């Protein structure tokens, strides 16, 4: 079971070695908001390596020019380097993360899952939050120029044609038709789909008859707010940002999780039916007022995830 980067880690285990070395060492998994910042381009990786070696030289007070040199640096100094680089990352980014190495990660997970020959017998329970991208989006994005600048920060290696494709997929139309009414929310939807929610679509569409998909819709549904529900233990519990947890919704989510862990299906006596994702792209909504509403996955109705899965931005 993993949340956010933890879910992204499970995603990478599922697609490890492109599936060429057999199945992962587990039969089922729960992924909540599986995410990572796509960082496959060699140019960006070389840039990050330069920063690490340079800062390691400064903090260790000796010359560090290679990865072998870096391995000789003590853990406390490496922690300082890590803290410094992450603290100086652009808004919404953490700099470090999984990258395509040609072996364990031969391609981005979405690309691997798009391969018709990639099969998995895993049973999966996959959740996402309704507003994944807001925490990773600067509140100061207010116009088209800001939006494009933000794209360049997230995808520094993307060719201009790819930037144009993204602008076409998320047009500067703020009437709500595309899920946003401000430039900031336009950027938030873009980051949510590119780094989080489309990962759930890739997996669900690949193993649909063995996956159970839910959307955490309790307002404000920000990234990681479901933590307070997953680990709820008493009335008066709060989410990570101090909002009261709705006990009924939390207990139902926990029932689904426990049922899935023990039986391989989230269904049981005390909760509404939770259908498989299947060919109908079913997604169960978990919200504060009613539990059990099932709708068609909106990601299946739009073309953005198919585009992101091609990884044309490097």
Token pair of 91 as six digits = 């808004």
Query: Which of 49, 67, 96 is the C-terminal boundary of a domain?
Result: 96
Domain boundary among 96, 125, 142: 96
CA distance 97 to 9: 10
Q: Are residues 18 and 92 in the same domain?
A: no
Does a cis peptide bond (omega within 30 degrees of 0) precede residue 220?
Answer: yes
**Quick one: 28 and 59 in the same domain?**
no
Which residues on adjacent β-strands are paired with residue 296?
Answer: 282
Query: 3-class SS at 97?
Result: coil
> What is the model's pLDDT at position 313?
83
Q: Tell me the mean pLDDT in the region 194-203.
A: 98
* pLDDT above 70 for 179: yes
pLDDT above 90 (res 255): yes
- Residue 63's domain comprises 40-96
Residues 85 and 212 in one domain: no
Asked whether residue 299 is assigned to any structural domain, the reply reads yes
State the residue for tokens 């529900």.
Answer: 229
Q: What is the token pair recorded at 160? A: 């201009």
Mean predicted lDDT score pLDDT of the chain: 95
Residue where a domain stops, chosen among 30, 65, 96: 96
Q: Are residues 66 and 147 located together in one domain of the fold?
A: no
The reply to whether 22 and 59 lie within a common domain is no
- Note whether 16 and 70 are same-domain residues: no
Quick one: 187 and 264 in the same domain?
yes
Q: What would the pLDDT profile of 276-290 be if each residue is shown by its tens digit?
A: 999 999 999 999 877
Average pLDDT of the residues in 145-173: 95
Domain identity same for 57 and 14:
no
How deeply is 259 buried, as exposed, middle or buried, from its count of CB atoms within 10 A (0-12, 13-18, 19+)?
A: buried
**Rounded distance between C-alpha atoms, residue 42 and residue 85, angstroms:** 19
- The region, left, alpha or beta by phi > 0 then psi within -120 to 50, assigned to residue 136 is alpha
Burial 142-177 (b: 16+ CB within 10 A, else e): eeeebbeebbeebbebbeeebeebbeeebeeeeeee
User: How confident is the model over 23-46, as a mean pLDDT?
Assistant: 90
In sequence order, the β-bridge partners of residue 128 are: 215
Q: What are residue 160's phi and psi, to 5 degrees?
A: -60, -35
What are 124's strand-pairing partners?
29, 211
How many Å is the maximal CA-CA distance in the chain?
64
The pLDDT confidence band at residue 268, using thresholds 50, 70 and 90, is very high
User: What's the Cα-to-Cα distance from 11 to each of 8, 102, 224, rounded to whole Å?
Assistant: 5, 16, 17
In a domain, 177, yes or no: yes
Q: What percent of the chain has pLDDT over 90?
A: 86
Residue 135's pLDDT is what? 97
| Residue 314 resides in a domain | no
Distance CA 285, CA 189 (A): 19
Let me know if residue 236 belongs to a domain.
yes
Report the C-alpha gap between 301 and 80 in whole angstroms.
Answer: 45
Residue 113 near residue 121 (C-beta atoms within 8 A): no
Split at pLDDT 50, 70, 90, the class of 40 is low
Residues 192 and 295 in one domain: yes
By the 10 Å C-beta count (0-12 exposed, 13-18 middle, 19+ buried), 121 is classed as: exposed
> 31 and 64 share a domain?
no
> What CATH number should be reported for the domain holding residue 22?
3.40.50.1820
117 vs 98: CA distance, rounded Å: 24
Q: What is the DSSP string of 40-87?
A: --HHHHHHHHHHHHHHHHHHHTS---SHHHHTTS-HHHHHHHHHHHHH
Claim to verify: residue 78 and residue 158 sit in the same structural domain: no
The count of domains in the chain is: 2
| Stretch 151-163: mean pLDDT | 91
176 and 298 in a single domain? The answer is: yes
């Amino acid at each position: 079971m993993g949340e956010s980067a933890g879910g992204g880690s499970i995603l990478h285990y599922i697609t490890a070695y492109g599936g060429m070395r057999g199945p992962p060492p587990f039969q089922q998994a729960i992924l909540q908001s599986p995410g990572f910042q796509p960082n496959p381009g060699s140019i960006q990786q070389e840039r990050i390596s330069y920063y690490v070696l340079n800062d390691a030289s400064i903090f260790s007070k000796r010359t560090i020019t290679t990865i072998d040199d870096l391995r000789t640096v003590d853990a406390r100094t490496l922690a300082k380097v890590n803290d410094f680089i992450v603290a100086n990352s652009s808004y919404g980014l953490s700099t470090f993360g999984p990258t395509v190495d040609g072996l364990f990660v031969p391609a981005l997970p979405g690309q691997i899952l798009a391969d018709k020959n990639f099969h998995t017998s895993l049973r999966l329970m996959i959740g996402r939050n309704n507003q994944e991208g807001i925490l990773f989006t600067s509140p100061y994005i207010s116009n088209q120029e800001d939006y494009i600048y933000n794209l360049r920060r997230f995808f520094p290696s993307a060719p201009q044609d790819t930037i144009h494709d993204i602008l076409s997929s998320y047009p500067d139309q703020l009437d709500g038709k595309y899920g946003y009414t401000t430039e900031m929310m336009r950027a938030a939807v873009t980051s949510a789909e590119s780094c989080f929610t489309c990962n759930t679509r890739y997996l669900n569409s690949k193993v649909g008859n063995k996956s159970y998909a839910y959307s955490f819709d309790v307002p404000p549904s920000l990234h990681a707010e479901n933590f307070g529900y997953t680990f709820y233990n008493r009335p008066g519990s709060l989410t990570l940002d101090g909002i009261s947890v709705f006990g009924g919704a939390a207990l139902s989510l926990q029932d689904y999780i426990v049922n899935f862990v023990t039986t391989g299906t989230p269904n049981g006596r005390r909760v509404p039916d939770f259908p498989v994702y299947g060919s109908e792209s079913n997604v169960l909504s978990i919200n504060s007022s009613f539990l059990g509403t099932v709708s068609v996955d909106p990601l299946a109705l739009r073309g953005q995830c198919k585009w992101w899965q091609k990884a044309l931005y490097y």
